[in-house]
Amino acid sequence: MTRVKRGIVVKKRHKRLLKQTKGFWGQRKNIFKRAKETLMRAMAFAYKGRKLRKRDIRTLFITRIKAGARAHGTSYSRFMFGLKKASVLLNRKMLSQLAIYEPNGFTKIVELSIQAQS
């Protein structure tokens, strides 16, 4: 029976991982064991960072809506309560876009919110 060498698969896997660690410092880029440890850690931080970015963006949207609502003489919480009461189903991203780029439309939505409260 002929001998089968299996180095190709392992080498391919190692090369793929080492390609991802390009630019890391010291052994973290060229020693497989160190590179794998570092890459796993980096991937975990990247995943966590994507979740944190969503949180940060949502706070930005809320700040923008709050500024727009304050300009029309109402608070953020009262504005959102009025929208819920009026059954307006706009998410915070769209409301913030309206507050910035369509001030007239946002004014109408604020008025609708205030009417729903009374």
Question: Residue 114: which residues within 8 A CB-CB, separation 6 or more?
Answer: 74, 82
Does a structural domain hold residue 1? no
How many domains in the chain? Answer: 1
- Model confidence at 41, pLDDT cuts 50, 70, 90, reads very high
Structural domain of 17: 10-117
Q: How far apart are CA 111 and CA 69, in angstroms?
A: 10
Q: What are phi and psi of 76, to 5 degrees?
A: -65, -45
Rounded to an integer, the average pLDDT of 62-74 is: 94
- Residue 32 placed within a domain: yes
What is the pTM for the complete model shown?
A: 0.74
> How does residue 36 score in pLDDT terms, banded at 50, 70 and 90?
very high
Residue 108 lies in a domain: yes
In the predicted model, is pLDDT for residue 98 greater than 90? Answer: yes
Has residue 82 been placed in a domain?
yes
pLDDT the model gives residue 65: 96
* Nearest Cα residue to 57 out of 97, 110, 103: 97
Q: How far is CA 6 from the centre of its chain?
A: 42
Q: What is the rounded distance in angstroms from the CA atom of residue 30 to the CA atom of residue 2?
A: 33
Q: Which two tokens stand for residue 59?
A: 């706070």
62 in a structural domain? yes
pLDDT mean over 95-106: 94
Residue 101 lies in a domain: yes
Q: Is residue 88 part of a domain?
A: yes
Question: Is 17 in contact with 36 (CB distance < 8 Å)?
Answer: yes
- Which CATH number fits the domain that encloses residue 64? 1.10.1900.20
What pLDDT band is residue 54 in, cutting at 50, 70 and 90? very high
Q: How many residues in total does the chain contain? A: 118
Does residue 3 lie in a domain region?
Answer: no
The pLDDT assigned to 118 comes to 78
Quick one: pLDDT band at residue 94, thresholds 50, 70, 90?
Answer: very high
